[in-house]
Structure 1
């Protein structure tokens, strides 16, 4: 029901263009790299990947978001392969992608699904491939913690409590990723943490 308002809500609450630009800047692309956006939503991040020689893919569980993504990407004349699918069961072969992006999606998943989603991302990444990850992270101040309560009230405490710890980064390391925190963005309702995780 909120899908038509999705872009406005995300832009308003998260400084979307700021953190997504930072996420893209941490990726070093070469010609014809294969790139997947997991939980691509309405295609904003994909529309920002203007490198002309990338093989772009997006997957999302919401068909309404995928429809909006298709319309948005057509405006940019970008050729992107969009598919319906879940982060916990990605519809791609093993070792398919050089880069995987995932932004502001994991806080919607249960802890078990977070781990399953990371396993799937690890599976579809090529050896040496990188995951560029952004989501709400551990607040660095009491004021930031109070602001993040808005996210928890809207999205549920069961799925967002992991954001108050290093659960995702630890799960990445447990799977064999090397993980580096590359930045933080202080947004309206909390702090967005950016991670770079490399599959060895």
Structure 2
């Protein structure tokens, strides 16, 4: 459920906001167009929104600015503290993860950025099947994350990171649970969703799935 990475989140909370604006050269391409990616996710959301992996609250800010009702779910205490400092008083920020969370009475959109890859493929299947039951017709999943068009493209990305001397990035690509667009297509369609993908940079795609 991604909680095996909690120690990483606790440490990364100190520098996350600097990383996303490009101060870490290894991750500049990963976070290229970061603000536009968050804005695009927020524009696709409607109604009551659950945000998984809210982190320091960067996407949450944009969702709230769009006038949406938001429930934030974040497993890292340090990340939640950063979000609480940044977001308006009374913002609903809960301990939880993609699978283990308090289910609100109504959910219209489920969003996440840069987080779903912390789940194994089996956990992703479980989570997406759960969301298929949680959302009604017209409900959406909108995730922005690193994913690949094929396993070969994934392997190539690791090689390119290694050749560039980006050892931290290469290690991340090999130890976290990145997957492919065909995987997402098959799982989402099996759970009653129509899905599309828009590329944002060399690494990140926005996956938008609507419940039929």
Shorter-chain TM-score category? 0.7 to 0.9
User: Partner residue of 1:99?
Assistant: 109
User: Partner residue of 2:7?
Assistant: none
Residues 4-43 of structure 1: pairs in structure 2 closer than 5 A: 4-12=14-22, 13=27, 14-15=31-32, 16-27=34-45, 29=46, 33-43=47-57
Q: CA deviation at 1:191?
A: 2.1
Q: Does 1:58 find its partner at 2:68? A: no
RMSD value, Cα = 2.6
TM-score (structure 2 length as normaliser): 0.76
Q: Secondary structure at the match of 1:120?
A: helix
Label 1:156 to 1:91 Cα distance change in 2 as closer, same or farther (>3 A).
farther
User: Partner residue of 1:111?
Assistant: 121
TM-score (structure 1 length as normaliser): 0.80
Question: Higher strand proportion, which one?
Answer: 1
Q: Secondary structure at the match of 1:196?
A: strand
Contact 2:117 2:176 in 1 (8 A): no
**Structure 2 runs not aligned, ≥5 long:** 1-10
**Structure 1 runs not aligned, ≥5 long:** none
Deviations 1:81-126 (A, max 9, x none): 1110121122104x62111111111111111111122123333323
Aligned length: 185
> More deviation in 128-137 or 8-17?
8-17
